[in-house]
Structure 1
């Protein structure tokens, strides 16, 4: 195993950070690593907003559901799907196809993961903040996003002030199928649920008793940010 793979396998979400700032050199390397990520047809339909204003940080923490580390992390980045550049280059650009929003979301995820992996390789930690979509319109207005541009998620970065265990994942044979989709073996889920219960029972904070199956089915049994479609439509995206 090389150091890159070891860094990947050691990923933990970090939500507590020391006051130590990230240097400009480190930040530049993280951004360059993100820019080096794959981009569909080299469209490069992602914009990243670095939020340094303390008042805006506090508001974003509130909009994200009271996640205080949004305000306290050394850096906070907001990843956006962005077709404004392309529309400015040529007014014939039609950015309202659903496929183009999907491309933007995929590209943003790839770019962000490059940024996070680069940060972790430098001894930093971070966590994704999908909670920005709880109040996407307010975030949009706070960051003055133009038409054709929409908020996707945020990312906290900084020096870790905690050392959580690596959270168990579903085993590869459940995720990776060969030649065709394979039927789920519920015995595999039972084993995984047991490993997650053990993880939650023994971690130092936020201990839980629910299994992975219970948590995920509960989350997927109700509405999931139904305001996102009209929000994206209002930005000229995902209309057809």
Structure 2
């Protein structure tokens, strides 16, 4: 068997044998949900699956607020930038980085705890993101759809007050969960050669790769079944580095006890 034939054989074998990889590659953000509730038993299993994610030193530095109160969901939908699916999805979760529980446990064990370290912020945020992604994958494996809500950080202090979050806990993002009532196309990703480096960081080909990817994204945006627009990946990035910088975040995190020491 030639080397090229071996590559195609391996690709076909992986696709045939590994539905998990295909599930991961088929992710779409869902923003329209059926009026159908997720059974409580399934919901709790999804959260347990999240708990099985990797966690730094077994700290498990996260808490999830399951926002059930309709008025609170409506308020958070507005605070997150007017996103109606926050209020309309079957379930809405706010994933919080939480160092409070672990710090207090260490203190009860006799430690003189140092608070406000940058590493604590990183550990808690990464733990939370890993946990949430496990919940996302588990949800999609059950035919559910989801949408992350980074707009939580538009007004994190107001969200924290609604959810009664104590010091050393902050809301990282939200997640809408439910049964999909739409079937959007899968959004293209950067080519592997743009993000996979060998031995050291190199960017010699980045301009050409991004230019080609902009063409791919322009075709996608113009051809997709809803919200068509004539734009590119690079154009879509511009607001992230201008109007969406969220300069309030540093002061907010300091106030939450997540300093930069």
TM-score over 0.5 for the alignment?
A: yes
Structure 2 residues without counterparts, runs of 5 or longer: 1-14
- Distance apart, 1:169 and its partner CA: 0.4
1:177–1:226 CA distance, 2 compared to 1 (3 A) = same
* CA distance in structure 1 between the partners assigned to 2:122 and 2:204 by the alignment: 27
What are the Cα deviations for residues 186-220 of structure 1, in whole angstroms up to 9, with x where unaligned? Answer: 12111111110011101122212121112213422
Structure 1 residues without counterparts, runs of 5 or longer: none
* CA distance in structure 2 between the partners assigned to 1:68 and 1:34 by the alignment: 25
What are the Cα deviations for residues 63-90 of structure 1, in whole angstroms up to 9, with x where unaligned? Answer: 1000000000001110111111123224
The reply to whether residue 202 of structure 1 matches residue 218 of structure 2 is no
Q: Is the 8 A contact 2:153 2:173 kept in 1?
A: yes
What are the Cα deviations for residues 155-211 of structure 1, in whole angstroms up to 9, with x where unaligned? Answer: 000000000000000011100101000124212111111110011101122212121
Worse-superposed segment, 116-125 or 86-95: 86-95
SS in 2 for 1:188: helix
SS in 2 for 1:17: coil
Tell me the equivalent position of 1:229.
250
Q: Is the 8 A contact 2:53 2:131 kept in 1?
A: yes
Tell me which of 175, 178, 181 is aligned to 1:158. Answer: 178
* CA distance in structure 2 between the partners assigned to 1:192 and 1:218 by the alignment: 19
* CA distance in structure 2 between the partners assigned to 1:55 and 1:232 by the alignment: 26
The reply to whether residue 175 of structure 1 matches residue 195 of structure 2 is yes
* CA distance in structure 2 between the partners assigned to 1:180 and 1:108 by the alignment: 28
* CA distance in structure 2 between the partners assigned to 1:31 and 1:64 by the alignment: 23
* CA distance in structure 2 between the partners assigned to 1:111 and 1:66 by the alignment: 26
What are the Cα deviations for residues 4-51 of structure 1, in whole angstroms up to 9, with x where unaligned? Answer: 111101000000000110001210111011000000111111111101
Worse-superposed segment, 202-211 or 116-125: 202-211
1:217–1:30 CA distance, 2 compared to 1 (3 A) = same
Aligned residues: 240
* CA distance in structure 1 between the partners assigned to 2:76 and 2:228 by the alignment: 26
* CA distance in structure 2 between the partners assigned to 1:90 and 1:102 by the alignment: 18
Q: Is the 8 A contact 2:30 2:180 kept in 1?
A: yes
The reply to whether residue 238 of structure 1 matches residue 259 of structure 2 is yes
The reply to whether residue 35 of structure 1 matches residue 56 of structure 2 is no
**Which one has the largest radius of gyration?**
2
Tell me the equivalent position of 1:104.
124
1:156–1:222 CA distance, 2 compared to 1 (3 A) = closer
Tell me the equivalent position of 1:212.
233
Q: Is the 8 A contact 2:185 2:225 kept in 1?
A: no
Please give the TM-score of this superposition, normalised by the length of structure 2: 0.89
The reply to whether residue 141 of structure 1 matches residue 161 of structure 2 is yes
Tell me the equivalent position of 1:26.
42
1:223–1:16 CA distance, 2 compared to 1 (3 A) = closer
Tell me the equivalent position of 1:10.
26
Q: Is the 8 A contact 1:79 1:152 kept in 2?
A: yes
